[in-house]
Chains A and B, each alone.
Chain A
Amino acid sequence: AQKVTQAQTEISVVEKEDVTLDCVYETRDTTYYLFWYKQPPSGELVFLIRRNSFDEQNEISGRYSWNFQKSTSSFNFTITASQVVDSAVYFCPLFGRGTDKLIFGTGTRLQVFP
């Protein structure tokens, strides 16, 4: 079976705080992709990153960083020095190359207060 769990339903922080969004996945596919998408109040899905199953390198892009650990089936996302514009719902979908399914968790709503 294929599953994505984002256990944090909602997180509230004050601007400039660091925040980590958790993502745990399950899949029987040996080759898969993990993504992070941001969905602001306007509704469109904004691509942030993709990681392939064979590439466990962590990534940093400005205030954003991602920690991919196959040993714990996790792909966590950290925002450093959060800003009000980071307020959105965040999803970490999983695509399995064997099953051809792209599945989502329930998302994490992040609210950043000034």
Chain B
Amino acid sequence: DVKVTQSSRYLVKRTGEKVFLECVQDMDHENMFWYRQDPGLGLRLIYFSYDVKMKEKGDIPEGYSVSREKKERFSLILESASTNQTSMYLCASIDGQGARSTEAFFGQGTRLTVV
């Protein structure tokens, strides 16, 4: 019954490393999102995508990039990890047309620690 899967639950990376966070959904949704969640700040939108190869910057894109080569997969890339990118990362997908499903679906989250 898993609908949105993130590749790792916990990750520890060193400063300066390139980090890949993968997200896969099995609902044929066009719209996918990456957020980071920090205490007291809610979920802040990093990047989103409304179709294959299409991507848009969210509210805090600096230091991140994304890739959407296939409809079901949306990857978040930290080009050169820094300690201020230590956070919980959440992936989500939604049926933007609203016809097939009612809710937005979320992955289980990846807790990334950069040391």
Contact = CB atoms under 8 A, between A and B. Distances in A.
A103 B92 CA distance: 11
The majority secondary structure among interface residues of chain A is loop
A18 B41 CA distance: 26
A95 B104 contact: yes
A9 B104 contact: no
Given A9-B40, A52-B98, A100 B103 contact: no
Contacts of A97: 96, 98
Nearest to A4: B42
Interface of B: 31, 33, 35, 40-45, 48, 50, 56, 58-59, 88, 90, 92, 94, 96, 98, 102-104, 106, 108-109
Interface of A: 6, 9, 33, 35, 43-45, 47, 50, 52, 91, 93, 95, 97, 100-107
A43 B109 contact: yes
A60 B103 CA distance: 18
Given A102-B48, A104-B35, A44 B42 contact: no
Given A43-B88, A102-B45, A102-B48, 20 more contacts: A9-B40, A35-B103, A43-B109, A44-B106, A45-B106, A47-B104, A50-B103, A52-B98, A91-B42, A95-B31, A97-B98, A101-B45, A101-B56, A102-B94, A103-B45, A103-B59, A104-B42, A104-B44, A105-B42, A106-B41
A46 B92 CA distance: 13
A1 to B, nearest CB: 10
B33 to A, nearest CB: 5
Given A33-B98, A43-B109, A95-B94, A102 B42 contact: no
A102 B31 contact: yes
15 contacts: A9-B40, A33-B98, A35-B103, A43-B88, A43-B108, A50-B102, A91-B42, A93-B43, A95-B31, A95-B94, A95-B96, A97-B98, A102-B104, A103-B59, A104-B35
